[in-house]
């Protein structure tokens, strides 16, 4: 959530009050973290009450691609899944333009991220991910995951010159393996639907209510797409269920998350056979994207690129453990 397109409160306030029925804009703060879009916390005041929203200016996604993400969030919110809800302007539009770029305002969820999750936190995430998958079954719009294998093929040649010979061999070998996996009968039969595709620990919030921890919500849906639900689960596991070395899978966290997921949506035989390969696919996706952001960065305020070595190590770990059981 870097800032590529700077905004000021002085600039935004007249536009906001003209376009929205949410009172006055009283504060605007850039959000640190993330790498794709320009994000701001927007505070408003109306009838003596203050409210906080998130304003996003989209730097890579086009106006043609964005309705999928915003309508998916609206669909899930209306189904009771705790996600940011897009806010319509006076004309009833949830997508608009700022600085000649597409933009949106969504509700801000309560809570904070837990970067060192407990088994119980992992179980909450697993259950909510399954509920989200099922809540999206009747979402009519489809849009492919824009960071899937077609994108990996496109980006790999651009990052390969920056890698050592050993890293080049690893990347080419894994791409070849994934090409075969994606072409397999098992992969073709995996259930799919609307998927988050980026449900890392910093995209989930928890709240403390009556001395109990509850899941406050899931956010940052701007990598979402129509994809295999197993891929979504693998992406989540590769970030939530790690041992203290932050690379290998922790058995207790993994069991907690997978079991909770399966209480809502049991996995099929094909999904279980595909699990190890999908863990590798999820690791490769983020290794390639972090290589791209690290070696071919864009200029932005408040931007810190993630170290790609983290997901290189995770990929190597998943390749060594070829038969990760479910």
Q: Above 50 in pLDDT, residue 1?
A: no
- Mark whether 27 and 69 lie in a shared domain: yes
Q: Other C-beta atoms within 10 Å of 318: how many?
A: 25
User: Is 270 among the domain residues?
Assistant: yes
- Mark whether 147 and 192 lie in a shared domain: yes
- Mark whether 209 and 102 lie in a shared domain: no
User: Is 2 among the domain residues?
Assistant: no
What pLDDT shows up at residue 306? 81
User: Is 112 among the domain residues?
Assistant: no
User: Is 177 among the domain residues?
Assistant: yes
- Mark whether 95 and 187 lie in a shared domain: no
- Mark whether 287 and 237 lie in a shared domain: yes
Q: Above 50 in pLDDT, residue 20?
A: yes
Domain count, the chain: 2
Comparing 291 with 2, the larger pLDDT belongs to 291
User: Are the beta carbons of 225 and 148 closer than 8 angstroms?
Assistant: yes
Average pLDDT rounded to a whole number, residues 100-110: 96
User: Is 248 among the domain residues?
Assistant: yes
| Residue 32 pLDDT level (bands cut at 50, 70, 90) | confident
What pLDDT shows up at residue 223? 96
Question: What CATH code is carried by the domain that includes residue 76?
Answer: 3.30.200.20
User: Is 113 among the domain residues?
Assistant: no
Query: pLDDT tens, 130-184?
Result: 999 999 999 999 999 999 999 999 999 999 999 999 999 999 999 999 999 999 9
Per the DSSP assignment, residues forming a β-bridge with 230 are: none
- Which residue, among 133, 252, 128, has the nearest Cα to 191 in the 3D structure? 133
* Burial 1-12, CB ≥16 within 10 A → b, else e: bbbbbebeeeeb
What pLDDT shows up at residue 297? 83
What pLDDT shows up at residue 10? 96
Instruction: Give the helix/strand (H/E) hosting 174.
Output: helix 165-182
Cα-Cα end-to-end distance for the chain:
34
User: Is 326 among the domain residues?
Assistant: no
Domain boundary among 80, 107, 134: 107
Q: What are phi and psi of 35, to 5 degrees?
A: -140, -5
- Mark whether 212 and 310 lie in a shared domain: yes
Domain boundary among 72, 107, 142: 107
- The C-alpha atoms of residue 128 and residue 318 are separated, in whole angstroms, by 25
What pLDDT shows up at residue 308? 95
- Mark whether 17 and 131 lie in a shared domain: no
User: Is 190 among the domain residues?
Assistant: yes
What pLDDT shows up at residue 210? 85
Q: Above 80 in pLDDT, residue 326?
A: no
- The C-alpha atoms of residue 25 and residue 48 are separated, in whole angstroms, by 13
Range of the domain at 182: 119-320
Average pLDDT rounded to a whole number, residues 292-315: 80
Average pLDDT rounded to a whole number, residues 242-266: 97
What pLDDT shows up at residue 280? 98
| Residue 35 pLDDT level (bands cut at 50, 70, 90) | low
Per the DSSP assignment, residues forming a β-bridge with 195 are: 225
- Mark whether 29 and 140 lie in a shared domain: no
- Mark whether 45 and 125 lie in a shared domain: no
Among 207-216, 232-241, 252-261, 264-273, whose mean pLDDT is lowest? 207-216
Question: What CATH code is carried by the domain that includes residue 177?
Answer: 3.90.1200.10
Average pLDDT rounded to a whole number, residues 194-202: 98
Query: pLDDT tens, 68-86?
Result: 999 999 999 999 999 999 9
> Which tokens sit at 216?
């406050």
- Mark whether 209 and 135 lie in a shared domain: yes
Average pLDDT rounded to a whole number, residues 188-206: 98
Token pair 């597409």 is found at: 102
> Which tokens sit at 18?
């003209």
Q: Is 6 helix (H, G, I), strand (E, B) or coil?
A: coil
- The C-alpha atoms of residue 216 and residue 206 are separated, in whole angstroms, by 5
Among 92-101, 176-185, 286-295, 298-307, whose mean pLDDT is lowest? 298-307
What pLDDT shows up at residue 288? 98
- Mark whether 136 and 81 lie in a shared domain: no
- Mark whether 79 and 166 lie in a shared domain: no
Domain boundary among 84, 107, 130: 107
Token pair 């990052």 is found at: 159
Rounded to the nearest 10 degrees, what angle do helices 229-240 and 269-295 cross at? 60
| Residue 50 pLDDT level (bands cut at 50, 70, 90) | very high
Q: Above 80 in pLDDT, residue 323?
A: no
What pLDDT shows up at residue 322? 66
């Amino acid at each position: 959530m870097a800032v590529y397109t700077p905004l000021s409160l002085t600039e935004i306030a007249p536009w906001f009050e003209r376009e929205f029925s949410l009172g006055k804009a009283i504060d605007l703060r850039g959000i640190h973290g993330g790498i794709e879009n320009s994000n701001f916390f927007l505070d408003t005041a109306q009838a003596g009450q203050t409210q906080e929203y998130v304003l996003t200016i989209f730097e890579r996604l086009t106006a043609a691609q964005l309705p999928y993400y915003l309508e998916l969030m609206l669909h899930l919110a209306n189904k009771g899944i705790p996600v940011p809800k897009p806010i319509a302007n006076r004309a009833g539009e949830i997508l608009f333009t700022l600085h000649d770029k597409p933009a949106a305002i969504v509700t801000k969820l309560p809570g904070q991220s837990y970067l060192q999750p407990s088994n119980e936190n992992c179980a909450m995430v697993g259950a909510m991910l399954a509920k989200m998958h099922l809540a999206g079954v009747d979402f009519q719009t489809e849009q492919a995951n824009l960071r899937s294998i077609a994108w990996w093929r496109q980006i790999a040649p651009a990052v390969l010159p920056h890698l050592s010979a050993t890293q080049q061999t690893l990347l080419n070998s894994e791409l070849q393996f994934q090409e075969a996996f994606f072409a397999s009968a098992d992969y073709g039969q995996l259930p799919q639907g609307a998927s988050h595709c980026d449900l890392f620990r910093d995209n989930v919030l928890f709240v403390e209510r009556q001395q109990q921890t509850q899941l406050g919500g899931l956010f940052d849906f701007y990598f979402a797409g129509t994809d295999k639900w197993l891929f979504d689960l693998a992406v989540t596991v590769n970030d939530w269920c790690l041992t203290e070395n932050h690379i290998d899978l922790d058995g207790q966290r993994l069991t907690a998350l997978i079991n909770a997921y399966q209480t809502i949506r049991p996995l099929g035989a094909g999904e279980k056979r595909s699990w190890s390969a999908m863990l590798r696919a999820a690791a490769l996706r983020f290794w390639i994207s972090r290589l791209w952001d690290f070696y071919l960065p864009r200029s932005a305020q408040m931007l810190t690129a993630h170290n790609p070595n983290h997901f290189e190590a995770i990929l190597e770990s998943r390749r060594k453990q070829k038969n990760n059981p479910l």
